[in-house]
Structure 1
Amino acid sequence: MVKPGVWQTVGIASGVAGAAGAAVGVGVAARRRNRIAAERRRLAAQLTSAPPAESTPRSEESSVTADDGVRLSCEEIEAPAGVRPALTVVLVHGFALDRRTWSLQLPVLAALRGPAVRIVLYDQRSHGRSERAPRATCTIDQLGHDLDAVIRALAPDGPLVLVGHSMGGMTLMALAEQRPDLFAERVAGVALVSTSAGDMGSQGLTAALLSRNNPLLRGVGLLARVQPKLVEGVRRAAGDLIWSITRSYAYGDRSVDPGLVDLVDTMIGANAVDALTDFVDTLGSHDRIAALPALAGCEVLVAAGDADKMIPFSHSERIAAELPDARLLRLPGVGHMPMLEKTTEFDAALVELIDASARRAAEGRSVRRMRRRA
């Protein structure tokens, strides 16, 4: 059973708090917030392992216009000076997050020499620094077209490795459905991280939350559109409570570095509540099992934690069953953010995928070569 995700939970919690705050016991809520704040301070004093900002490699920011005119905020990191990249790695983040999802991977990927890679990453529409999109276009199908636009603009030639987390993995599947030729000709490797090929809301509470008939979600989305300052104010006021929810749903280890919880919490907080509710219908209707055969000619990594409360590990097992040559990486006790929670293990698997993809491309199994960029 798929349980409600932290991103959706946080957005809903913000709206519900705004709509029903008067009914909450103020004293009880205050005491709970104080306990959470105290625990957060205690963990922060114990754990300080988040990487320094200076470890992030230099990048060039740009923007790409999607086929419907929405501006997508992008970033490019070139291979080390004097080293020709073997392929381009495109990183695609998930729902309610942004490209900072990959902060811990960037130094590792940028330092690769054999093979060296270019890196392209971007914020999905209505997320991060990308432009807010009309609600009708907030679909996984459109996200696939957006990824295609980013590739055409920033990685128009040469072999590719596509890495997608959660809704980002669904985006890769949508692109495979739309452009199987791209996967046959240029995509040498694919990583599907903590994601699903479908059946996201088939039973239990999640089925109700993802239902297009759910009046709570519709009410929260409407309230956020007509009274955005009210809803966002409530979300800020409930910051410690939301931080605790984020830790619980994003990570399997409750003693995770608070800096990593802060990172996810900050990404979620940067997105408007009503922008997030715009994606509920598309998550609930996502079904792209039929698109997976387009990945069969690629090197494939399927990676997830078996303590993921948002998309259970069984979804990764289902994907791997459809792609018998894929590597299935099970991370014990890990939640929905394996690239942050178990960085060493995740990075090793990702580098192994890149190595195998570069060999595939060199052997001519991924055809078009990369032109030297100016």
Structure 2
Amino acid sequence: MPVATSRSTFTVTGHDGAALAVYADGPDDAPVTLVLAHGWTLDATAWQHQAEDLTRSRAAADGAEPTGAVRVVRYDQRGHGRSEGGGSRWSIDLLGQDLAAVIEQTAPNGPVVLGGHSMGGMTVMALAAARPDLIADRVAGVLLTSTSAGQLDPRGRPEAPLRLRIQGHAQSAFFGYCARTAERSERIRAHLPGPERGVNPFLVKRYLYGPQAPRPAVLAGARMIHDCPMAAVAGWYPALMLHDKAGALEALRELPVEVVVGSGDRLTPVAHSRRLLAELPRAALHIEPDCGHMLLLERPEVVSSRLRKLCRIAVQGSN
């Protein structure tokens, strides 16, 4: 039988004083804490399926001993959801500092498993590059889904197809304009079809999901993107393009790492996950067929099962 879970909401303070909204599910005395970082334009509810799944005691599908309930900590990334943007210049390195603060202030003891989707995966990489001590002392496993260690900006890469370089310049100009005119862009967006109307769900599905994605999953993503402030939508784009942690992931080499990606991911294609494996030779790669970038919503159990495996390993290692 599932075990009843407790839920709490509180605030973590970033190094610059920014207030980050944090949501914890599961018992405080759970044997492992799972900390989850979401992607660009989303919020902590992107991990709702996994939070509900992992906070319930259940036997593993492969017949192994159950881990017991897991404590799951999710948070709204800086500038997203209910978290403040703060006064610091936005960068993926800054998000790594935020993740360190979340771990230290919400899970000061016991093993920790980290999960990151898209920009959240980059956040985990930034933490690994900057705080190998924290990784070595506290982290027992990592899941990286639909993410990249860098080379997302095609503009400065001569080997990139001309079409992608032109697209990169257009996107940079568009997001730059939106960043400079965030309030005006917000007003314009308010007059466009909402997340459940017109071409909005069609476009979200086309670029972020696989062809057979269920409509509720598509609408869940569309709502989060629509609710994300334009200042964050536009403001975080340059940080994503500048992100580069290739060659800086030594702290993760000896850890259990699961890399999961959809075969049809348009934003962080499979090649980016393969490059992660080249740097993390002990990592396991799973390519989910006919699935897009929003894999954690489109095929939630695929992600949950890898997280469950990592949590089980963490508990076994702590005994």
Task: Tell whether the structures are fold-level matches, with TM greater than 0.5.
Answer: yes
Alignment map for 1:89-128 (pairs within 5 Å): 89-112=34-57, 114-115=66-67, 116-128=69-81
Aligned residues: 303
Relative contact order, CA 8 A, sep 6+: which one is greater? 1
**Alignment correspondent of 2:153:** 201
Cα distance, 1:56–1:284 mapped onto 2, change above 3 Å: farther
Instruction: Please give the per-residue CA displacement for 1:298-342, whole angstroms capped at 9, x wherever unaligned.
Output: 111011111111110111111012111111111111111222222
> What is the identity percentage for the equivalent residue pairs of Structure 1 and Structure 2?
36
Instruction: Please give the per-residue CA displacement for 1:70-127, whole angstroms capped at 9, x wherever unaligned.
Output: 11111011239xxx42211001100000111111112210113632321111000111
- 1:222 is displaced (CA, Å) by 2.1
1:73 aligns with 2:18: no
**Amino acid across the alignment from 1:73:** A
Q: Which has the higher helix share?
A: 1
* Secondary structure class of the residue paired with 2:285: strand
Question: Is contact 1:211–1:281 with CA below 8 Å preserved after alignment?
Answer: no
Alignment map for 1:308-323 (pairs within 5 Å): 308-323=265-280
Question: Is contact 2:5–2:27 with CA below 8 Å preserved after alignment?
Answer: no
5+ residue gaps, structure 1: 1-54, 363-374
Question: Is contact 2:14–2:98 with CA below 8 Å preserved after alignment?
Answer: yes
- 1:217 is displaced (CA, Å) by 2.5
TM-score (norm 2): 0.87
- 1:286 is displaced (CA, Å) by 0.8
Question: Is contact 2:193–2:199 with CA below 8 Å preserved after alignment?
Answer: no
Question: Is contact 1:184–1:297 with CA below 8 Å preserved after alignment?
Answer: no
Question: Is contact 1:77–1:119 with CA below 8 Å preserved after alignment?
Answer: yes
5+ residue gaps, structure 2: 59-65, 155-159
Cα distance, 1:224–1:234 mapped onto 2, change above 3 Å: farther
Alignment map for 1:125-204 (pairs within 5 Å): 125-134=78-87, 137-202=89-154, 203-204=160-161
Between stretches 196-205 and 313-322, larger displacement belongs to 196-205
Instruction: Provide the alpha-carbon RMSD of the alignment.
Output: 2.4
Cα distance, 1:355–1:63 mapped onto 2, change above 3 Å: same
**Alignment correspondent of 1:15:** none
**Amino acid across the alignment from 2:126:** A
* Secondary structure class of the residue paired with 2:198: helix
Question: Is contact 1:223–1:231 with CA below 8 Å preserved after alignment?
Answer: no
TM-score (norm 1): 0.75
Match of 1:241 among 195, 199, 214: 199
**Amino acid across the alignment from 1:88:** T
**What CA distance in whole angstroms lies between the structure 2 residues aligned with 1:101 and 1:300?**
21
Question: Is contact 1:87–1:117 with CA below 8 Å preserved after alignment?
Answer: yes
Instruction: Please give the per-residue CA displacement for 1:235-271, whole angstroms capped at 9, x wherever unaligned.
Output: 6499421221111122112x42211111101101111
**What CA distance in whole angstroms lies between the structure 2 residues aligned with 1:227 and 1:314?**
34
1:224 aligns with 2:177: no
Alignment map for 1:271-282 (pairs within 5 Å): 271-282=228-239
